[in-house]
A and B are shown apart, each in its own frame.
Chain A
Amino acid sequence: MHLTRTRLVVSLSVSVLCQGLDAQSSASGTAKAKAPKGFEKVDHDIHIGMLNARLRFDLEKFSVKPGSKVKLTLANNDSMQHNLIICKPGKGVLERIAAGALALGSKASEKHFVPDLPEVLFHTNALMPGQEHTIWFRAPEKAAMYPYICTLPGHTFTMRGVMTVGDVGNSLISNLRYDLFKGSFKLLKDMTGVSPVKKGVLKNGVIDIGRVGESSNFGVWFHADLRIEKAGKYSFFLRSDDGSCVRVNGTEVVADDGTHGLRPFKKGEIELGTGRHELRVEFFQGGGGKGLHVDMKGPGLRRRSLTANAGTGRPQGVPIMVMHDPVVMRVHVQNAVSRSIALGLPGGMNCVFDAGACRMQFGWAGAFLDVGPDRLGRGGRPCGIMGRRFEVGDVGFPLRRAGSKENTVRYLGYKTGPETQFLLDWDGQDVAWSVTGAPSGVGLRYTFEIPGIKTPVQFAIDRDGLDVASTAGTWSGGVLTVPANAAAKFSVTLTRSSGGDK
């Protein structure tokens, strides 16, 4: 049976999570998402948030039974807009959906960045920071991996997850419950003998300290059934802020006790036979940052996380969004020179120009910049790129005159608009270098305007890992020679060659 979008049941009520958005809060703060008819009881209750300013969902995989009733809540605890679209499996689907979202242009906001494509199965609204949105749907009958993404410009590269539809009974942990304790605990043993103030169930089978309803001075014991298919030695990896431990059948396997911040993973091992075992993860939190990460691996089991990527500390990032126009920003960028100009291009490509040496340093695919390091505290520190870096074959200022040794260049400024232009003085010759994203794939397109040029021009690049194309001239290795009659305006496209993304 094939599922169509008409079976999606959506509640549009939006509740507001945090302060700072007074208008929405008074309008809908009391509106509680109400389950539609037939979904009062659901099989799976999935809760997805974001890792602040890191362009990641805090839950990147979950499993549901074929045809089951699913309640999915997307909570935007980040500082920029996000949505979530669950897609049909298939090659190139995510790219088509991302491109379709971008093609919505000025209609994107009202359509929640959701393109009208058959590959879209279910989706939430595009949520402003602080909003949350719950949707209810019946899972597909067909067992498969259904990817989900955020389609805000540039986010698709990193905001991805997978909903597995299949036999949930086979999952590693099931019957996940928790006991919540209140108190300012300093050690794990301080929780012993304390009566829980609350008991709860986490239906999605993900150990998540963000879902027990407390942020400071609490403790929690997670209980679950651990199902082992193959007997042998199993390893548990643990890190937390503050203390935690993992127990299997009552035996402590690994502990990271005491009050502290996140530190490297600790590892513990235990021999387990096939069948059901009793798992208990104990955790407590004082004040400040918090986090809990539990991974396990064993015979036939690749290392996997049992926890949500969840919530450490308070939001720290200040992400800058790129929507329909390029964003130009002078800041220090990590691994770039100090006189850098960062450029965020519509469509998810970004790059950083060196205003001293007049060269492109590198690019990245994803969202633009986290300028928190420049804006928070004393500021002035290098900002982080929000995506995956790609090389642009930088060999310094790329233009040459055939047979000429003179090659000095001076940066004059930049012009903003639909295309960003860097203006240069090249031995007395004006050059305008504009930059856009490559028309397809991961890369950039440069257009050089050299008015009145009477000689051939060479464009030099390190072609390693790049596919190149140009509107004029001939390539020889990494050098494009453009004849004088075509040099007044020519374009070069650099894209990461398939296989170049390693």
Chain B
Amino acid sequence: MIRSIVAMASLLPAAVAQTPEPQPKIIPSGYRVETIETPKGVPFGVGGLSFAADGTLYASTREGDVWTYKKGTWKLFAKGLHEPLGVFVDPKNGRVFVVQRPELTELIDSDGDGRADFYKTVTAGWGLTDNYHEYAFGLVRDSKGNFYGTLNTSLSWKGWAGSSKWDIARVHDSKMGRAARYRGWSFRVTPEGRFEPWSAGCRSPCGIGIDRNDEVFYTENQGDWVETSALHHVRKGRFHGHPSSLMDHPDYRGIDLNSISIERYTELRTPPAVNFPHGDLANSPGEPVWDYTGGKFGPFKDQIFVGDQTRSNVFRVVVEKVAGELQGCAMNFVDTLQAGVVRCRFAQDGSLWVGQTGRGWGSRGPAKYGLQRIVWDGKTVPFALHSVSLTRSGFLLQFTKRVAAAASALTSYRIERWRYRYQPGYGSRKYDKAVVKVSSAKVAPDGRSVRVDLDSSGGKGLAAGWMFQITCNVAGADAETLATKTAWYTLNHLRR
């Protein structure tokens, strides 16, 4: 018996802790968090994570390095980069790309010594000043070989002495603006290296992600023109809501963006697919990743996982197509990790690696930076709210396990709704917050889902343009308590 444990332990990477680590306050049963020791004495604010086909992890750091991690050993691969906030390793041929402030770069190890020696520019198609907020985020690629990334707006506010240094175009007195070309855009770079501005209206788009159907998404941080942090669905030509980027849009050349009303901007923008309520779930989300592990990470197959920098948590998102557009729900998952989360990636073994940095942005997790991974034990299915989808009369709540019969009681559900206001000011409070009456709750024959209908008389129930907070006080069939009992659903469109 003892011998077999020793044998198993020797197969584990050296960095995996031998003694149980302290676990986060919120973590579903069957999951555990492991801390990966980063290179000793090296500031390691994670900016990007990517796994090569052989399982080697590439991590870019805000301090300008790219490190590889394999079998418990870190090696420096590249250095001297300008805050690289995204890295991509080609799964087919191992080519390494990073997005750094000034450009998209291929890192080439031409002599095969394990260190990049040729820093080859792919494109430097966007504008850049030394305004500290001009981050370039990435990096994902679609099945045709196009890269996608996002460009942060420039920071400015009245009375800040530093602001006069740059010529920052702001709209309706907002805090962020445009000091150089394509600030506030998502971009595409073709396999030939051509830079294409892709969608406008981003503010602080810290994370970009792509699903298996080549649909691109980015996460937005609450602020001016952003009512709460959110997930946006990116399509070419879309306007996501922050107007200063329109200066670089061919349709708005020479037009005074301050002459366009907020109402008109509201019509022009594609609202977020999923809002993340500020203070409840996320304050500054990082990149979205999809659980395509085929069940290796537990019962949340194909769901989206997002980490948050301020709260230092990881949460789940599920989108569905309603009236031709994507919208959906978000739920907390693991909370609080050791430091602010900006990057998440699934490893081949199905564990979720979480790249962290707290410096300068502040985070609940007290560490300055770090790397952790969330591992499922491969057998324990936690009792959790799995997802929420919209029906014509309410919501279908799905659970990971059978619910107790009492789940049909109306009092088991508390549903509230509110609206956010899209505006030039910083964020939005919750307007018109009210409890919505539940009119029925029907447990499906398999006991795994509950159909909850709302009393929508007098316009007080289901309505487009509202956020819904759904809290379930439901026990499992074997008296288990819910690991995740609250979900937030962004209702942009009603089901027809």
Contact = CB atoms under 8 A, between A and B. Distances in A.
Interface of A: 327-332, 338-339, 355-356, 374-382, 411-417
B192 to A, nearest CB: 14
A435 B130 CA distance: 25
A107 to B, nearest CB: 24
Given A377-B360, A411-B121, A413-B119, A328 B80 contact: yes
A380 B105 contact: no
Contacts of B117: 415-417
Contact of A414 (B82, B119, B130, B133): B119
Nearest to A377: B360
26 contacts: A327-B80, A328-B80, A328-B119, A330-B64, A330-B80, A330-B101, A331-B82, A338-B102, A338-B130, A339-B103, A375-B63, A376-B359, A376-B360, A379-B83, A379-B132, A379-B359, A379-B360, A380-B83, A412-B121, A413-B121, A414-B118, A414-B119, A415-B117, A415-B118, A416-B117, A417-B117
B379 interface: no
B130 A332 contact: yes
A337 B153 CA distance: 19
Contacts of A329: 64, 80
Contacts of B135: 380
Determine which residue in A374, A380, A415, A416 has the highest number of CB atoms from chain B within 10 A of its CB, and name it.
Answer: A380
B46 interface: no
B124 interface: yes
B361 interface: yes
B119 A378 contact: no
Contacts of A414: 118-119
B124 A355 contact: yes
A376 B62 CA distance: 11
Contact of B130 (A356, A376, A381, A416): A381
A64 to B, nearest CB: 39
Interface size class of B (residues with CB under 8 A): 20 to 34
Contacts of A339: 102-103, 124, 128
B134 interface: yes
A-B pairs, 7 with minimum CB distance: A380-B132, A378-B360, A330-B82, A413-B120, A332-B130, A329-B80, A338-B128
Given A416-B119, A417-B117, A380 B133 contact: yes
A267 B354 CA distance: 57
Interface in B113-142: 116-121, 124, 128-135
Contacts of A416: 116-119
B81 interface: yes
A462 B129 CA distance: 27
A380 B62 CA distance: 10
A378 B116 CA distance: 27
A377 B368 CA distance: 11
Contacts of B130: 332, 338, 380-382
Contacts of A327: 80
Nearest to B106: A413
A330 B81 contact: yes
Contacts of A380: 83, 101, 130-135
A229 B118 CA distance: 65
Nearest to B132: A380
A374 B43 CA distance: 13
Contacts of A338: 102, 128-130, 180
A376 B103 CA distance: 22
Nearest to B43: A375
B100 interface: yes
Nearest to B361: A378
Nearest to A375: B63
A282 B482 CA distance: 66
A288 B213 CA distance: 55
Contacts of B116: 416
A356 B121 CA distance: 11
B137 to A, nearest CB: 13
Contacts of B129: 338
A413 B81 contact: no
B120 A412 contact: yes
Contacts of B105: 413
Contacts of A411: 121, 124
Nearest to A334: B130
Nearest to A412: B121
Given A330-B82, A355-B124, A416-B117, A377 B359 contact: yes
Contacts of B121: 355, 411-413
Interface string B97-110: 00011110100000
A226 B323 CA distance: 88
Interface string B8-41: 0000000000000000000000000000000000
Contacts of B360: 376-379
B96 to A, nearest CB: 13
Given A339-B103, A411-B121, A413-B118, 17 more contacts: A329-B80, A330-B81, A330-B82, A330-B100, A331-B64, A338-B102, A338-B128, A378-B359, A380-B101, A380-B130, A380-B132, A411-B124, A412-B121, A413-B105, A415-B118, A415-B119, A416-B116
